[in-house]
Structure 1
Amino acid sequence: MSLLDRDGVRVTVDGAVATVVLTDPARRNAQTPAMWRALVETGRRLPGDVRVVLLRAEGISFSAGLDRRAFGPEGIDGEASLPQLARLPDAELDAAIAGYQEAFTWWRRNDLVSVAAVQGHAIGAGFQLALACDLRICADDAQFAMRETSLGLVPDLGGTRPLVELVGYARALEICATGRAVHAAEAERIGLANLVVPAAELAGAAADLAAALLAAPRDAVIETKALLRGALGQSHAAQRAAERAAQARRLRDLAGLGE
């Protein structure tokens, strides 16, 4: 089933799996506010029986980051350029950035498991879009780089927290402050990538992972994901209490005693 096909985003649904594809390979899937709006709409329109979302991209690059036209005085047709954004009052500028961030927030909902399949370059906003997902499978030619700091900016699309959670503060700072490329082998070694495969095998590996994620009962995966996401912000005692409550719900459900 086709769910959406516009502004560089195509979404299809096959049973419990939704596939989101970035479809502007000529621009190396450079991101625009229109693309972000399409991604926000995708999250809102996903059918309730979708359990796994696969994110992939056409062409040689996953995403080369923000469309460079946004940096110029004219910007992208119909969109505010970065210089124009800078002139907005504080509240309007904050609201504009918050709107952009929405495209990166829904991927970690507890009712979904999202998987980014990354090939080639994942730069800036592309890196942050990969970080928005729960899991990342990479082709052996993948390169991640956070170039915002090198441009005098900061990563502002929700990527800072997952990056620190995955690789630790010191390494995250080094990656962001230097803007260097993190190649696939290093990404796997430091925990940024779950798996690295030959480029020709990327689509198959993502499909295999989706099938594996669907093997367990949905409610058990939802409860487990919620526990894991909340673990770092909890004391040991609070986390054990959360585990007990979740297990009680599962036991009662399996015994047919759920609400």
Structure 2
Amino acid sequence: MTTGPGVRLDHSGPVATVTLSRPDVLNAQTPDMWRALSDFSRNLPGEVRVVVVRGEGRAFSAGLDLSVANASGPGSFAELATLPEQECADRIAAFQAAFTWLHRPDIISVAAVQGHAIGAGFQLALACDLRVLAEDARLSMAEVTLGLVPDLAGTGRLVDLVGYARALEICATGRRMDAAEADRLGLATLVVPTAELDGAVRDLTAALLANSRDAVVEIKALLAGAARRTPEQQQRAEREAQVRRLRDLAGTGE
């Protein structure tokens, strides 16, 4: 087990579990937690194929810890606002890295979401490839209520999942949606009774591990890039991926 401030990484064979571990504040996030998450990505064992992200206690994450953001120390709004423009942008880029590693092509990431997933919590769930929601999940892109924008790599993912118009409505209003609506909009891979969340995540993880790692990696790359390719480019990508798989299975690949 690897621990950081408010977060820990457990690893068992091909499965790693990232747990936000500040249940007393509904797993509100801090810059120190984001730095620890980035460190986890650099130290992830090569055998890991699935990363599960979850929150300890009754919430996934209530978002940014405002007691830190509204203070005057490192990572606070006040401190960031005083930095030169490029330095401030670079600091935010480092925060984003805590989320974007979950897009890595060699893993599939699964968010196990119960209770609140607000602001940074919603963006952390969006950073994952798949989302299993408990029936009590409540999601909101609440940054606008603070006069801010979502800046943790969540906007593009949201548009990919629900389209521009719905993403604009969700982000510009900051409203909350329940698990049933999230499911209708395509944000949920599964919605299950709250008591069944852990079992559903285990079953999904087992299904993801049941097939060839190399085939799954190729499939993820094909699907992740499909929206940005022309039909001809996508068909070429399929052909090239299949040639690699055939040669590998025949023992004639590089």
Paired residues of 2:31 and 2:75 also in contact (CA < 8 A): no
Match of 2:139 in 1: 144
Task: Please say if 1:252 is aligned against 2:250.
Answer: no
1:120 is the counterpart of 2:115: yes
Unaligned stretches of 5+ in structure 1?
none
Q: 1:213 aligned to 2:211?
A: no
- Picking from 79, 94, 101, the partner of 2:96 is 101
SS at match of 1:13: strand
**How many angstroms does 1:206 deviate by?**
0.5
What's the secondary structure of 2:152's corresponding residue?
coil
Q: 1:35-78 CA deviation, whole Å, 9 max, x = no partner?
A: 00110011111110100001111111100000011332424xxx
**Alignment-derived partner of residue 195 in structure 1:** 190
**1:105-157, CA deviations, whole angstroms, 9 ceiling, x for partnerless residues?**
11011100000000000000000000000000000000100111121110000
The TM-score, its normalising length taken from structure 1, stands at 0.96
Which residue of 1 is the match for residue 65 of structure 2? 67
Q: What is the Cα deviation at residue 258 of structure 1?
A: 1.0
CA distance in 2, matches of 1:62, 1:187: 15
Amino acid at match of 2:232: A
Partner Cα separation in structure 1 for residue 42 and residue 99 of structure 2: 13
Partner of 1:169: 164
Match of 2:28 among 10, 27, 30: 30
Q: Hey, what does 1:17 align to over in structure 2? A: 15
* Superposition TM-score, scaled by structure 2 size: 0.98
Partners of 2:113 and 2:173 in 1: CA distance: 22
Instruction: For 2:6 and 2:53, locate their aligned partners in 1 and report how far apart those are by CA, in whole Å.
Output: 13
Aligned length: 254
5+ unaligned residues in a row in structure 2: which ranges? none
Task: Find 1:110's aligned residue among 105, 111, 115.
Answer: 105
Query: Amino acid of the residue matched to residue 154 of structure 1?
Result: V
**Distance across 2 between alignment mates of 1:175 and 1:56:** 23
The change in CA–CA distance for 1:19 and 1:80 in structure 2 (over 3 A counts) is closer
Look up the SS of the partner of 1:189 in the other structure. helix
Cα distance between partner residues in 1 of 2:218 and 2:43: 23
Out of 203, 216, 226, the residue aligned to residue 221 of structure 2 is: 226
Post-superposition Cα deviations, 1:179-202, rounded to whole Å, max 9, x if no partner, equal 111100011111001100011110
- After superposition, what is the alpha-carbon deviation per residue over 1:65-97, rounded to whole angstroms, capped at 9, x for unaligned? 00011332424xxx2310221111111101110
The one-letter amino acid of 2:15's match is: V
Paired with 2:229 and 2:13, the residues of 1 have a C-alpha distance of 35
Distance 2:82 2:174 in 1: 27
